[in-house]
Amino acid sequence: MATTLPKAFEAFAVPGGFKGQLSQLPLPDILQWLRTSQATGVLTLVSGGARKALYVKQGRVVFASSNLPNDRLGEILIREGKITVEEYDTSIRAISKGKRQGKALVEMGALSPKDLWEGIQFQVREIVFSVFQWEDGHFHFEESNLPEKERITVDVDILDLILAGIRRVDASGPLQGRYPKGDVLLERSVEGELPLEPYEAHVMNLVDGERSVLEICRESEIGDNETLKVLYGLLCAAIVRVKGKKVRALDQDFVPEDSTHTVLASFNQNYSYIFRYMVREVGPIAENVLEKYLGGLRETRKDVFGGVKLQKDGSLDPALMEKNLNRFTEDQKRPLLVDGLNELLYAELLAVKRTLGAEHEAAIIKALRDR
């Protein structure tokens, strides 16, 4: 290729482009590379019987096509209330005589020239956004000169497409598998005016290079899943980048080398200690505070914490934890468990810090280290 592919793309390289599965290389990543490399060519996307193509010129989308009837210009204009069914039918009869539908609609007075250009831009964006909803499919980008038969083209910023496309995806759906992990530290990579919604700017303002993803979720006012979706979008658009991982106050100090049962028993001692400490300081409300933090992990780490609640002493039910881990191999179980339990321990220490203050957090850390 004329431009160098990033490392993540090397496995998908073919002469003159790259191709592969969207499950392995998602659309936002592909679009971001096309943008930053200022690529020119055609990105073809196929899923089942659907076939769509994005035409890119110097890193900007200039046209899109689809073989689905619902993506045709006329159908979109009807859905958006820009033309009537009667006007649509009349324009279709004009198409059969060799005239394009858009031109026919303008000549009929159903659309102004401005409406036509805006309609085509809307059509292009809708075709792109529809691919964000695909759970699987194939892609193939080929560097090439664009066909000249399309006389009406648009000029759409890919950054805007990435952010707008991710906004439409269900935060609780398959996208969860691509969310950044809780211990990841993020920092801003772009300054200045950005095309963000107010709630996205709220999350963006929490990215300071010091807060972990978990801490950002706790500070955010829009809930864990929506916050994680925003962070994923900001990462895809290269507005933020990974700085590293948050060093946990306790790291692996409490992690024995034995079975998963021993690991959980060790961590449960720590959870029970934190629970007793909190109850002593704030009373029964401690259970609600700590359960809130576990609730966040029940959503983001279902592999470990699905259905798990705090027991009366602040510990976790070993049987439920074992049930969650049973679908993994023996080699996978322990690393998943240790990572998840560490994340909860870190979250509970954060709860202590916010509820009681940094001095209480430090006192608990010292007590746990001395145990």
pLDDT at 114: 93
pLDDT band at 1 (very low <50, low <70, confident <90, very high): very low
Displacement of CA 13 from its chain's centroid (Å): 24
Rounded average pLDDT over 75-80: 92
Q: How many CA atoms lie within 13 A of 140 on its CB side?
A: 10
Q: For position 112, what pLDDT does the model report?
A: 93
Per-residue pLDDT at 285 exceeds 70: yes
CATH for 170-245, among 2.60.40, 1.10.10, 1.10.1740, 3.90.480?
1.10.10
The answer on pLDDT for 2 being more than 50 is no
Q: Over the chain, what is the mean pLDDT?
A: 88
Alpha helices in 255-329 (DSSP H): 260-282, 285-300, 302-305, 318-325
122 by Cβ neighbours in 10 Å (0-12 / 13-18 / 19+) ranks as middle
Q: What pLDDT, on the 0 to 100 scale, is given for residue 256?
A: 53
Q: What digits encode the pLDDT tens for the residues 134-183?
A: 989 999 999 988 766 667 788 999 999 999 999 999 988 888 888 888 88
pLDDT of residue 149: 65
Residues 330-365 pLDDT 10s = 788 888 888 889 889 988 998 998 899 889 988 998
| Residue 92's pLDDT band (cuts 50, 70, 90) | confident
Least confident segment among 21-35, 98-112, 154-168: 98-112
189-209 per-position pLDDT tens digit = 988 888 899 999 999 999 999
φ, ψ of residue 227 to 5 degrees: the values are -65, -45
Distance CA 291, CA 311 (A): 10
pLDDT over 70, % of the chain: 93
Is pLDDT of 282 > 60?
Answer: yes
Give the residue extent of every domain in the chain: 7-157, 170-245, 260-370
Q: Percent of the chain, pLDDT > 90?
A: 54
Q: Which amino acid is at 180?
A: P
143 - beta bridge partners? 41
